[in-house]
Structure 1
Amino acid sequence: MVGDEIAQWLEQAGPAMAAAVSAYGGAVLTRAQGAAVDATAGLGQRILQAVWRRRDDAGRAELQRVVDDAVDEQDDTFTTAVLRRLLRQALQDDAELREELAVLLPAPAAVTITASGERSIAAQNIGTAITGDGHTPPRP
């Protein structure tokens, strides 16, 4: 179950951490949170600072390096991926951090998908779904 929880937290935390890094750059780890911070960047900052507080000097240096690399890259996709990887490692190694982040990132609400009618499909996050008679799928 811990692996599933971590995956859910990473899905929620990735964009927030990227927004915080975009908003504050390398200062995101040590900057006091201001009132003007939008909700997404504020959440990302709280997550990153929680990881920062729980690290030793070497861990903090690594986190600072990752954040600085993400700032220099200026690519949200890259930033999100790098920060998610770092958070995954931190969460796997630290049960107390998982408890702390559980408060910040509650499990997402259940999703209900209903399909009705002849030949209906119901799915979530499957990519492209092509239905109908006479369709020939593309060949690889």
Structure 2
Amino acid sequence: MSDINSLVGQIVPAVGAAVGAYGVSVLSRAEDQAADATVRLGQRLLDRILRRTPDRAPIETAVTDLAAAAGDPDALAALRLRLRSVLGQDPSLVAELAALLPAPPAARADGARGVAVSGNVSGIVSTGDAAINIQRR
């Protein structure tokens, strides 16, 4: 399941950018030469998902809702939930989409106390002598 979550984490920003650029017409718009790479990637990913999904309506509804509420984190989360559900049912689609995505940059830690992070961090990352870290919520 973590592979799907990671994949969805990469897909949603690209599809969100495509929806932000084209609104609901992203569902039928042909690739535009002037669109940037992220938008084109989002279009390709969404097209591939919709072609392989027997019931397109829930994803199309999530895209339409996101287009109507541009930037709304709840609408983006609804799209993420729909995509996770679709990908959880089709491992071959997961592999196909993963092949379309650029490889994530390799984590690299330079220096004596360097910290390499691959993915997201939701907390304190600290190195050093006698460091005191306080995280308030």
TM-score range, shorter chain: 0.7 to 0.9
Match of 1:12 in 2: 10
Structure with the bigger RCO (C-alpha within 8 Å, sep 6+) is 1
TM-score with structure 1 length normalisation?
0.77
Identity across aligned pairs (percent)? 38
Query: Aligned pair count?
Result: 133
Between the aligned partners of 1:96 and 1:79, the Cα distance in structure 2 is 27
Match of 2:101 in 1: 105
- Higher-Rg structure is 1
Structure 2 unaligned regions, length at least 5: none
> Do 1:8 and 1:107's aligned partners in 2 also have CA atoms closer than 8 Å?
no
Which amino acid is 2:130 matched to?
A: D
User: Quick check: 1:28 aligned with 2:26?
Assistant: yes
Q: Return the structure number with greater helix share.
A: 1
- Aligned counterpart for 1:122 among listed residues 108, 112, 115: 115
TM-score with structure 2 length normalisation?
0.78
Between the aligned partners of 1:110 and 1:90, the Cα distance in structure 2 is 28
Q: CA RMSD in A?
A: 2.6
User: Quick check: 1:96 aligned with 2:92?
Assistant: yes
| Most deviating of 30-39 and 8-17 | 8-17
Query: 1:133, CA displacement in angstroms?
Result: 3.4
Structure 1 unaligned regions, length at least 5: none
Match of 2:52 in 1: 54
